[in-house]
Amino acid sequence: MAVPSTLLLTRLVVALSSVFVVKSFRPRVVPDVPGLKGTGFICSDARGDVGVHPMKLYVGNLSYNTTQETLEAAFAAHGDVGEVAIINDRETGRPRGFAFVTMTNDDQARTALEAVNGLEIDGRTVTVNEARPKPERSRR
């Protein structure tokens, strides 16, 4: 069975959207694409690439024993999880107590944010917020 090129392009943009900064948002009609759950809205970057808009969530107050699988399971109950990144200390390699979860659809991400915020995971009450962009650091 041939995969429609629209589906391949959409999945590629969703996968790359966590790497590239989206420059502008232009709402567009989401075509019926088999295999994608939900709709979200379409965004485009400076080159005009389009895709379903993902959302990155900050998860704080994590236990040092929390694993990526545990976090993914907590968020997957509310939608499609694209990536889970538990942040480790550079020097010790131990977890720092927070993570970022990227969900492939912003509507599902908002639902997960409301559901998981205040939930107890591995004995700790976690805090979930929409992630803020990383501030630019001055070059030396």
Q: From 105, 97, 101, select the one nearest 129 (Cα to Cα).
A: 101
- pLDDT of 120 > 60? The answer is yes
Q: What is the DSSP string of the chain?
A: -PPPHHHHHHHHHHHHTTTSPP-B----PPP--TT--S---EEE-TT--EEE--EEEEEES--TT--HHHHHHHHHTTS-EEEEEEEE-TTT--EEEEEEEEES-HHHHHHHHHHHTT-EETTEE-EEEEPPPPPPPPP-
| Interatomic CA distance for residues 88 and 56, integer angstroms | 18
Give domain limits for the chain: 5-51, 55-130
Say if residues 55 and 25 touch (Cβ distance below 8 Å): no
pTM of the model: 0.62
* Longest Cα separation, the chain: 53
Least confident of 25-34, 78-87, 102-111: 25-34
pLDDT higher at 110 or 137: 110
| Interatomic CA distance for residues 71 and 48, integer angstroms | 33
The pLDDT of residue 102: 96
Say if residues 112 and 79 touch (Cβ distance below 8 Å): yes
Superfamily name with CATH number, domain 55-130: RRM (RNA recognition motif) domain (3.30.70.330)
| Interatomic CA distance for residues 73 and 41, integer angstroms | 25
pLDDT tens for 42-95 read 444 444 444 568 999 999 999 999 999 999 999 999 999 999 999 999 999 999
pLDDT tens for 122-135 read 999 999 999 998 88
Say if residues 54 and 130 touch (Cβ distance below 8 Å): no
Say if residues 124 and 59 touch (Cβ distance below 8 Å): no
